[in-house]
């Protein structure tokens, strides 16, 4: 059968659009099918990340942090602000503009690289045959040589708190509030709960987070998660751990949530409730039964280390497959698959050096193993840590909290994990990722010259501290 495209990508989020652009750059005739429609009911590229995820959340985190700083920190710098207030409509419009600019930018990149943007729904039929149903018009069948599935994920819903898109909402709803809720409840003190909880707390909401687990952020290094819990609590986030939600109802415009904590039944009344309990892969209506695509127990697509599915020439990337649900991980997988297809040689990526960031203030960023993981694996390791309070730049910036921590193998000194709590941790972690990619030792990091005065010197000192050589603190041997 004649091939219309060499590659068809289903999904235009950071996994799919990056894969499509890279395929086109490598000379493959490529189409990207994407079903997204934005708030104005217009097709938009960029998927969850650009439309209702990474980008709008960071826009609001930045705006709300500026307000919070003006309210709480400017005085100490001798800056007088006079009457301070919020125009939420302006704040939201700025966020929407950032989103519009970026999603429009992907459209421009598609044009420049010759990627065909097929607006509508894609479905894998069998082999590499794909059915494309445009938003308007008849379905047609495409017969590409390769298919990349990149349909992403959607919020998990729970029957105990059904969404009504007004009082009980998901993360998308919580990004679009047109008024600052006086009382905001959030089910789930995970990444979304903490980031969006921070936004609305800074803007004036009383925020209560109900978290089912007893342990706060179990994937984060225990020392950092304990610090973060304390700091976020001081900022006003009321994080209730071990809180099992029993039910919720909307009565007279308020949401009443009942939950169990410490063996007692308790209740919470809020004006808005956000459900942020995780996300699940978008596999509904992604493939016909005849496709025979193998899924895992969580409903994601099973792939090998090269993102190949069980069907020859069909790949899957991003939130749809195993590994962390992160935009940069999705994009790198998209890139690797494009290069595998073009070169005919499988190209993989390391999942153990994917960095994670929680964009609270202070930020939490990490790569590699935590101390608790190394302990449970029985790996012999050494720790070096350095408090930001002892870093000159941090002091100049009025940073009170934070920590950089390096974990290195006790015998080989190879860096096994780096954990940072502090402003700019999202940027500082890149150095640690690069070091781990090159299997650097803590000694390598310790012997690398860092500019002064910078926050990166805290990471340098943490690497020095692995061997008891930190200069600006007393070393414990």
Binding site for ligand NAD (CB under 6 A): 158, 187-193, 195, 210-213, 245, 276-279, 324-326, 357-359
Decide if 161 contacts 275 (C-beta within 8 A): yes
Query: Using CB under 6 A, which of the segments 50-58, 208-216, 288-296, 342-350 binds ligand FAD?
Result: 50-58
Q: Shortest distance, CB of residue 146 to ligand FAD, whole angstroms?
A: 17
C-alpha dist (Å) from residue 262 to 242, 245, 450, 460, 474: 7, 13, 48, 42, 41
Residue 210 or 237: the one with the smaller Cβ distance to ligand NAD is 210
x-or-dash string of contact with ligand FAD, 164-183, rule CB under 6 A? -------x------------
Residue 194 is inside which H or E element, if any? helix 191-202
How far, in Å, CA of 434 to CA of 430, rounded?
A: 6
How far, in Å, CA of 354 to CA of 115, rounded?
A: 28
How far, in Å, CA of 93 to CA of 95, rounded?
A: 5
How far, in Å, CA of 30 to CA of 21, rounded?
A: 8
Q: Is 322 in the site for ligand FAD (CB under 6 A)?
A: no
Q: What are phi and psi of 440, to 5 degrees?
A: -70, 155
- Number of residues binding to ligand FAD, judged by CB under 6 A: 37
Q: Is 403 in the site for ligand FAD (CB under 6 A)?
A: no
Supply the Cα-derived Rg of the chain in whole angstroms: 24
Decide if 431 contacts 417 (C-beta within 8 A): no
Q: What are phi and psi of 324, to 5 degrees?
A: -65, 145
Q: Is 13 in the site for ligand FAD (CB under 6 A)?
A: yes
DSSP letter at 431 equals H
277 binds, among ligand FAD, ligand NAD, none (CB under 5 to 8 A by kind): ligand NAD
35 binds, among ligand FAD, ligand NAD, none (CB under 5 to 8 A by kind): ligand FAD
Q: How many CB atoms lie within 10 A of CB 4?
A: 17
Decide if 345 contacts 332 (C-beta within 8 A): no
Q: Is 327 in the site for ligand FAD (CB under 6 A)?
A: yes
Q: Shortest distance, CB of residue 210 to ligand NAD, whole angstroms?
A: 5
36 binds, among ligand FAD, ligand NAD, none (CB under 5 to 8 A by kind): ligand FAD
210 binds, among ligand NAD, ligand FAD, none (CB under 5 to 8 A by kind): ligand NAD
Residue 270 or 446: the one with the smaller Cβ distance to ligand NAD is 270
185 binds, among ligand NAD, ligand FAD, none (CB under 5 to 8 A by kind): none
How far, in Å, CA of 90 to CA of 33, rounded?
A: 33
Decide if 348 contacts 323 (C-beta within 8 A): no
| Catalytic pick among 62, 135, 452, 460 | 452
Q: How far apart are the first and last CA of the chain?
A: 70
Question: Among 48, 64, 119, 385, which residue interacts with ligand FAD (rule: CB under 6 A)?
Answer: 48
How far, in Å, CA of 153 to CA of 278, rounded?
A: 10
Catalytic site residue 452?
A: yes
Token duo for residue 415: 């860096």
Window 57 to 76, contacts with ligand FAD (CB under 6 A): 57
How far, in Å, CA of 398 to CA of 69, rounded?
A: 11
How far, in Å, CA of 312 to CA of 67, rounded?
A: 53
332 binds, among ligand FAD, ligand NAD, none (CB under 5 to 8 A by kind): none
Q: Is 307 in the site for ligand FAD (CB under 6 A)?
A: no
Q: Is 319 in the site for ligand FAD (CB under 6 A)?
A: yes
Residue 49 or 399: the one with the smaller Cβ distance to ligand FAD is 49
Q: Is 11 in the site for ligand FAD (CB under 6 A)?
A: yes
Q: Is 122 in the site for ligand FAD (CB under 6 A)?
A: yes
Q: Give all strands (DSSP E) within 197-253, no chain letters.
A: 206-210, 238-240, 244-251
DSSP letter at 421 equals E
121 binds, among ligand NAD, ligand FAD, none (CB under 5 to 8 A by kind): ligand FAD
Question: Among 6, 15, 119, 210, which residue interacts with ligand FAD (rule: CB under 6 A)?
Answer: 15
Q: Shortest distance, CB of residue 107 to ligand FAD, whole angstroms?
A: 13
**Furthest-apart CA atoms within the chain: distance in Å:** 73
Question: Among 20, 168, 245, 286, which residue interacts with ligand FAD (rule: CB under 6 A)?
Answer: 286
Q: Shortest distance, CB of residue 355 to ligand NAD, whole angstroms?
A: 9
Pairing of strands 363-368, 153-155: unpaired
Give the interface with ligand FAD as residue ranges (CB under 6 A): 10-16, 33-36, 47-49, 53-54, 57, 121-122, 150-153, 171, 192, 282, 285-286, 318-320, 325-328, 330, 359
The catalytic residue positions are 452
């Amino acid at each position: 059968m004649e091939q219309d495209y060499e590659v068809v990508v289903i999904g235009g989020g950071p996994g799919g659009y990056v894969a499509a652009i890279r395929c086109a750059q490598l000379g493959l005739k490529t189409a990207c099918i994407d079903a997204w429609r934005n708030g104005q009911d217009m097709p938009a590229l960029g998927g969850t990340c650009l439309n209702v995820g990474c980008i709008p959340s960071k826009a609001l985190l930045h705006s709300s942090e500026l307000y919070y700083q003006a309210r709480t920190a400017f005085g100490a710098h001798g800056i007088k602000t006079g009457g301070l207030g919020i125009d939420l409509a302006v704040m939201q419009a700025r966020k929407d503009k950032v989103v519009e600019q970026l999603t429009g930018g992907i459209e421009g990149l598609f044009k420049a690289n010759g990627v065909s943007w097929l607006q509508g729904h894609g479905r894998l039929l069998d082999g590499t045959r794909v059915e494309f149903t445009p938003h308007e018009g008849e379905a047609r069948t495409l017969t590409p040589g390769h298919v990349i599935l990149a349909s992403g994920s959607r919020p998990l819903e729970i029957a105990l708190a059904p969404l009504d898109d007004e009082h009980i909402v998901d993360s998308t709803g919580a990004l679009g509030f047109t008024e600052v809720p006086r009382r905001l409840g959030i089910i789930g003190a995970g990444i979304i709960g903490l980031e969006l909880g921070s936004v609305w707390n800074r803007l004036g909401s009383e925020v209560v987070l109900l978290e089912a687990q007893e342990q706060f952020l179990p994937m984060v290094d225990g020392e950092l998660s304990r610090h973060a819990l304390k700091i976020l609590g001081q900022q006003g986030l009321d994080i209730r751990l071990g809180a099992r939600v029993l039910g919720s109802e909307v009565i007279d415009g308020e949401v009443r949530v009942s939950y169990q904590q410490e063996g007692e039944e308790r209740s919470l009344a809020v004006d808005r409730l956000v459900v942020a309990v995780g996300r699940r892969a978008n596999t509904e209506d992604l493939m016909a039964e005849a496709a025979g695509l193998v899924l895992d127990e969580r409903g994601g697509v099973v792939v090998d280390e090269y993102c190949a599915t069980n069907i020859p020439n069909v790949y899957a990337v991003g939130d749809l497959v195993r590994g962390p649900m992160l935009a940069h991980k999705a994009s790198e997988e998209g890139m690797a698959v494009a290069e595998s297809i073009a070169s005919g040689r499988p190209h993989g990526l390391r999942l153990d050096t994917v960095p994670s960031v929680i964009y609270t203030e202070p930020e939490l960023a990490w790569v590699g193993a935590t101390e608790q993981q190394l302990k449970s694996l029985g790996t012999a390791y050494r720790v070096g840590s350095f408090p930001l309070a002892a870093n000159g730049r941090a002091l100049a910036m009025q940073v009170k909290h934070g920590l950089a921590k390096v974990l290195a193998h006790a015998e080989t000194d190879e860096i096994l994990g780096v954990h940072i709590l502090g402003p700019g941790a999202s940027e500082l972690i890149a150095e640690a990722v690069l070091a781990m990619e090159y299997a650097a030792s803590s000694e390598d990091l310790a012997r690398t010259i860092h500019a002064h005065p910078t926050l990166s010197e805290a990471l340098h000192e943490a690497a020095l501290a692995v061997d008891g050589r930190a200069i600006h603190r007393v070393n414990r041997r």
